[in-house]
Amino acid sequence: MEMIELLERAKRQLAAATGLKPVEVTRASKDAQGWHVGVDMLEMSRIPAATDVLGEYDVALGEDGTMVRFARKRTRLRGAPLEEETSSTER
């Protein structure tokens, strides 16, 4: 299975499990246990959009692309800088 298809499956399955809308895939990797995908999901829509609440989710997929686990790691505002961006600009 191609990576693009796997990422789409991760977003679709997470949306079905949570009832939330996927915003973007933030990371993907493969190891002996299968695929690990990071997906930002829209938790709460607000106006302006920069104040939308996004949930950062980790999704584990089996070799066949079936979701075997997911977990929300944290929530953040869409317009808020990521920790990596903040720490690199503070140096």
**CATH assignment of the domain containing 16:** 3.10.450
Span 33-46, average pLDDT:
96
Q: Tell me, what's the pLDDT at 1?
A: 78
Rg of the chain's alpha carbons, rounded to an integer?
Answer: 14
In a domain, 90, yes or no: no
Whether 89 has a pLDDT exceeding 70, the answer reads no
Has residue 91 been placed in a domain? no
User: What percentage of residues in the chain have a pLDDT greater than 70?
Assistant: 89
Q: Order of strands, edge to edge, in the sheet holding 53-61?
A: 21-31, 34-44, 53-61, 67-77
pLDDT of residue 35: 95
What pTM did the predictor assign? 0.84
Report how many domains make up the chain: 1
